[in-house]
């Protein structure tokens, strides 16, 4: 079982009602990110407004069902009060060549923080160092840099990489290794460097999303609304973990980003810039008012799609059928008694 088992039990609308209103889109990316050049997503409307279901295509149904719980919660469930009208966001720098960094950062006007992808398969530590150096040069000495390895290093590789990158004054290193035990060991090794360790996959893909906090394996939690079952479920995890957190996107459309912004806006404290500016990585979106960063922030509030863009970015009939079948299977999983307790 994934993080879905830890989610607040979702509001379950009628499946037929959901399927009748689903729009499936395929959004082209500005540059390859996480191996993706086109991002597929399903969006549909509930009583609260539009919501999103967009687990990555390689995820199994059990994991993806948490994302459907989040879509139902956001579209049909009661939502917490928003404490902020805007959310500070970081720039997101894919594993591009160093000379492409200024162009990427230009898509995030006003951002004072950049998250830089590292450890990309087929690249070297020297590539990572050059990319981070270019980001530091572009942001200046006061800019904040965090790096994300997506759990692709082992402990020794991570320690070596962190020592190679520490001269760039890192804010934190996100999910450098795969397991909670490895995170704890790495955190012990680099504690004297003053660089924080953040956990992402160890929260959103874990059977127990609180294990990393209990083990003292991270300083910061990276929280994503969809994988954790929705805004309310994520808030409950943050409250119990007792650690500062960064709200991030899962490469959502602007509808999904609005869900993430609602989570960030409902947190009692927000110490870090959030990874919710990723609409800047799309060539097109589902709305003509996308949640693009402006002055380093995005606004809160729900997003409605633009019909012309839903049509222009519509997935093929075959991909639409694939997503509808996926929703049907995940919906069935959410009706199981073990999920409704």
Residues marked as binding for Mg(2+)?
148, 174, 200
Give the residue numbers of the binding site. 148, 174, 200
Burial (CB count <10 Å: 0-12, 13-18, 19+), residue 308? exposed
Tokens of 124: 């070297």
Packing angle of the helix pair 125-139, 155-165 (nearest 10 deg):
40
Query: Which are the contacts of 109, defined by CB distance < 8 A and separation ≥ 6?
Result: 293, 294, 295, 296
Q: Would you say 95 and 71 are in contact if contact means Cβ atoms under 8 Å apart?
A: no
23, 39, 115, 117: which is the annotated catalytic residue?
117
The side-by-side arrangement of strands in the sheet containing 23-33 is 23-33, 36-46, 49-53
Pairing assessment for the beta strands 170-174 and 144-148 based on DSSP bridges = parallel
Pairing assessment for the beta strands 49-53 and 36-46 based on DSSP bridges = antiparallel
23, 39, 136, 224: which is the annotated catalytic residue?
224
Rounded Cα distance, 168 and 320, in Å: 45
Q: Establish whether 117 is a catalytic residue.
A: yes
Q: Would you say 224 and 249 are in contact if contact means Cβ atoms under 8 Å apart?
A: yes
Q: Establish whether 224 is a catalytic residue.
A: yes
As annotated, the active-site residues are 117, 224
């Amino acid at each position: 079982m994934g993080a879905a088992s830890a989610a607040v039990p979702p509001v379950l609308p009628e499946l037929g009602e959901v399927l009748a209103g689903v729009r499936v889109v395929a959004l082209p990316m500005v540059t390859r990110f996480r191996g993706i050049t086109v991002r597929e997503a399903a969006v549909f409307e509930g009583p609260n407004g539009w919501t999103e279901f967009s687990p990555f295509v390689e995820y199994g149904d059990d994991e993806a069902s948490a994302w459907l719980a989040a879509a139902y919660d956001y579209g049909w469930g009661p939502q917490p009060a928003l404490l902020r009208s805007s959310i500070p966001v970081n720039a997101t720098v894919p594993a591009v060549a160093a000379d492409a960094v200024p162009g990427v950062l230009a898509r995030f006007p006003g951002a004072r923080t950049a998250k830089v992808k590292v450890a990309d398969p087929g690249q070297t530590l020297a590539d990572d160092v050059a990319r981070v150096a270019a980001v530091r040069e572009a942001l200046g000495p006061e800019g904040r840099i965090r790096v994300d390895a997506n759990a692709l290093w082992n402990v020794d590789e991570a320690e070596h990489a962190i020592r190679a990158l520490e001269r760039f004054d890192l804010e934190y290193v996100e999910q450098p290794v795969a397991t909670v035990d490895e995170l704890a060991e790495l955190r012990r090794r680099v504690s004297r460097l003053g660089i924080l360790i953040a956990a992402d996959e160890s929260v959103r893909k874990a059977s127990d999303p609180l294990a990393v906090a209990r083990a003292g394996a991270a300083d910061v939690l990276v929280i994503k609304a969809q994988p954790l079952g929705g805004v309310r479920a994520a808030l409950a995890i943050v409250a119990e973990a007792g650690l500062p957190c960064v709200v991030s996107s899962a490469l959502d459309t602007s509808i999904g980003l609005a869900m993430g912004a609602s989570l960030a806006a409902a947190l009692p404290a927000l110490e870090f810039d959030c990874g919710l500016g990723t609409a800047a990585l799309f060539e097109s979106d589902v709305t003509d008012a996308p949640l693009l960063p402006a002055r380093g922030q995005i606004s809160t509030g729900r997003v409605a799609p633009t019909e012309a863009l839903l049509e222009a970015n519509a997935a093929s009939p075959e991909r639409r059928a694939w997503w509808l079948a996926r929703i049907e299977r995940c919906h069935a999983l959410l009706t199981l008694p073990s999920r409704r307790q």
